[in-house]
Structure 1
């Protein structure tokens, strides 16, 4: 039993009644969570959604408690993770023993040393894929930004993960399947308490997307298990892996790992670069400075790994894009034992919403939080002592569950952006404003069309 002093210190979460919460969430869920967090000044919020009453945790202190300091009490299980299990199975996207085992196997393949070792290959892939844009320019065709960024990242990841055991045609079949799954999951998120014996809208579409992914991945896994070889790609290494008992992974375990990492390394990065084109269109002064740096460092291109350390402003632009549009915008957790967060008692079985999209826009921690300003991440500001809470910015998650793909992102994303802008000039052809889609990953609701033209360089690679 708590003491009188402890009892007095415990307070209720700020409630958001259903008549305010539900319409806002239905209209634009991520934007609604930002509003709720801001109106509460980052304090704990309880969303009154009938029988379902999750807590919104947005203050960096509270986020750190849930994701790092007491992470074992806040698990990736429960009603919000069941739909994802149907897609990702039991691997790094799960929790408990499955997560620990998968993380132990996969972590060595996503270290800075390993990513540096494959960086040249990634750069070759980027250059090869972007050269194909020449045909679009000559034909005067616009480019679907989301589909094309997904295609480029898929082309890269196919080599890194599958060692080209997955042919390009099959690899591109996965892209629309992930897109369909991301949009279809939303209805389960809206009705998390609905039993799976009852169909909700888009259930069949989601299962169709999972089947399409499985139809591509399982045959590759089975073939790789027969001929493990000595290739350093991920699927080969998983097929060669044996545990302390000498047992190999099952085809299902390998499939789950491949699908989970594929999503983290390609689909999420593609969405972030799509948002980047929209932000550059809205902020021409940033676009000019970015272009100047790429012209100076990369020239006629393509970008190479040795250019990355010199693309400092490019990195600042990417970091700021991640602040405004983190792909993993909602990170649910289930409370395993009664606890207290920020003076609010939360009971076992409760759902916690962590929303980087909201935390990374809190006025207490970010000056002009809704403005796109890459300068806030400049080395000069850091040198002058500008510091912020470690969990005011966490686009790759945090604690033991931090995304394995972070190092890969900071290699592939600069190479993609710099290679495109060294060869082409890009303009948005779709009229805005652009709103957020109701999807599992943060993406524009509208189709984003890019107009592309050749950058003018002379025969020595100097911009004319």
Structure 2
């Protein structure tokens, strides 16, 4: 330990998990509140990770000393068969993937695809939604988001049958390992519920993706898979193409569909906010199909989405493993330790957010971010590993919400409190249903 470092306070955590076994996220909330922005250690028996929440400390880990904090261990190792050596890995492979993928996800390139994306989404809402029929919120949002992303990534190189296979496979892949998130000390050789389903999901994804790569080698196109094939023409790496494609496609789909699943219960819980969103969509969009030209005028909707990501960031848990010993916030961190970062907790720190438990889109009014710590709000991660898909999300989310609200009004069927469930992303509870009624 460095001379200027102190030992962290250790907080018992296994007992908390036991008390909150139905909603494990609440155990982390308790620990975050007890930490109050200080670096603490969570005692989970044989596993004792550090919890980092203060924006200064987040900046240290994700930016200042980023090479010392790698994507390995907790969270990352169980998902390795899905993500592979991709843009969501680390080291040389990550840098290589970032170099190839970054030009495809700049604001300029995404904007060029946006009108086509808006058209596809409008058609999907028109043909997919059955007014008056209850449906599962998460599944319903995935059914609208997934085909749009698939067409951007795969173009015409994938059949509707394979699109229908991919969506549930991704869903299983990001939820089946939930138990290993809270039990990372259990060896991989010891089977846990979800392991077998996860392996089946990976097989399905590979059975769809590899033939698409083969087709992309013989068919020209401007979709993501064609660009990846051209960029890796000399390294012969079908596996690298598969890894980048699956990682970016999965992240883009999962982030948007998860975030959109929180839109409807949130609107229902805050009728005064919903009224403002509805009024703006009616005034700006009216009876027209939602297009890119509408987005700059949907100002309150943009604020609503920003607040939604503050309260329910899809990527809620982002662990890292230290390469060398370090000092974070005056606390010594040993080499090989797990450091847990969580925008879900940082976004709830009273020191940086007035009334953090209150849902208030007004905090994202123009100019408000000038008074905010740069690392107090990071729903898309930060530093060199900041999410490439954030510009894509900034277009997809308001297009989807406005596209639905110009036609329908939502009614969520609530029979219990809405609390997050444990998964790789922050999802609403199982079985949450809603009905869309024609206006």
Say yes or no: TM over 0.5.
Answer: yes
- Per mean C-alpha deviation after superposition, the further-off stretch among 24-33 and 305-314 is 24-33
Instruction: Give 1:29's match in structure 2, choosing from 16, 19, 24.
Output: 24
Structure 2 equivalent of residue 432 of structure 1:
416
Q: What is the CA–CA distance in structure 1 between the aligned matches of 2:415 and 2:288, rounded to whole Å?
A: 30
TM-score (norm. length: structure 2): 0.96
TM-score (norm. length: structure 1): 0.91
**Correspondences of 1:228-377 after superposition (within 5 Å):** 228-229=219-220, 231-242=221-232, 247-377=234-364
Structure 1 equivalent of residue 81 of structure 2:
86
**Correspondences of 1:64-463 after superposition (within 5 Å):** 64-133=59-128, 136-137=130-131, 140-225=132-217, 227-229=218-220, 231-242=221-232, 247-379=234-366, 381=368, 387-455=371-439
Q: What is the CA–CA distance in structure 2 between the aligned matches of 1:19 and 1:127, rounded to whole Å?
A: 47
**Residues 400, 25 of structure 1: alpha-carbon distance in 2 compared, 3 angstrom cutoff:** farther
Q: Deviations over 1:384-407 (max 9, x none)?
A: xx6111111000000000001000
- Per mean C-alpha deviation after superposition, the further-off stretch among 368-377 and 11-20 is 11-20
Q: Which has the larger radius of gyration?
A: 1
1:30, 1:357 within 8 Å by CA — same for their partners in 2?
A: no
Q: Deviations over 1:62-118 (max 9, x none)?
A: 001000111000011234311111111110110011111111100000001001101
2:312, 2:344 within 8 Å by CA — same for their partners in 1?
A: yes
Q: Deviations over 1:286-314 (max 9, x none)?
A: 11100100011100132101111111111
1:302, 1:423 within 8 Å by CA — same for their partners in 2?
A: no
Q: CA deviation at 1:144?
A: 1.9
1:302, 1:418 within 8 Å by CA — same for their partners in 2?
A: no
Length, aligned pairs only: 439
1:62, 1:341 within 8 Å by CA — same for their partners in 2?
A: yes
SS at match of 1:408: helix
Q: CA deviation at 1:30?
A: 2.5
Structure 2 equivalent of residue 60 of structure 1:
55
What runs of 5+ residues in structure 2 fail to find an aligned partner? none
What runs of 5+ residues in structure 1 fail to find an aligned partner? 456-464
Q: CA deviation at 1:249?
A: 4.3
**Residues 433, 149 of structure 1: alpha-carbon distance in 2 compared, 3 angstrom cutoff:** same
**Residues 93, 291 of structure 1: alpha-carbon distance in 2 compared, 3 angstrom cutoff:** same
**Residues 241, 249 of structure 1: alpha-carbon distance in 2 compared, 3 angstrom cutoff:** farther
**Residues 96, 381 of structure 1: alpha-carbon distance in 2 compared, 3 angstrom cutoff:** closer
**Residues 69, 25 of structure 1: alpha-carbon distance in 2 compared, 3 angstrom cutoff:** farther
Q: Deviations over 1:266-300 (max 9, x none)?
A: 11111101101110000001111001000111001
Q: Deviations over 1:27-71 (max 9, x none)?
A: 433322222121121101101111110000000100010001110
Q: CA deviation at 1:14?
A: 1.8
1:239, 1:248 within 8 Å by CA — same for their partners in 2?
A: no
Q: What is the CA–CA distance in structure 2 between the aligned matches of 1:413 and 1:422, rounded to whole Å?
A: 14
SS at match of 1:345: strand
CA RMSD, 1 decimal: 1.6
Q: What is the CA–CA distance in structure 2 between the aligned matches of 1:19 and 1:74, rounded to whole Å?
A: 25
SS at match of 2:406: helix
Q: CA deviation at 1:25?
A: 6.1
Q: What is the CA–CA distance in structure 2 between the aligned matches of 1:294 and 1:300, rounded to whole Å?
A: 10
Q: What is the CA–CA distance in structure 1 between the aligned matches of 2:404 and 2:82, rounded to whole Å?
A: 32
Q: What is the CA–CA distance in structure 1 between the aligned matches of 2:64 and 2:164, rounded to whole Å?
A: 40
1:11, 1:343 within 8 Å by CA — same for their partners in 2?
A: yes
Q: CA deviation at 1:425?
A: 1.4
Q: CA deviation at 1:182?
A: 1.9
Instruction: Give 2:9's match in structure 1, choosing from 5, 14, 21.
Output: 14
Q: What is the CA–CA distance in structure 1 between the aligned matches of 2:165 and 2:40, rounded to whole Å?
A: 41
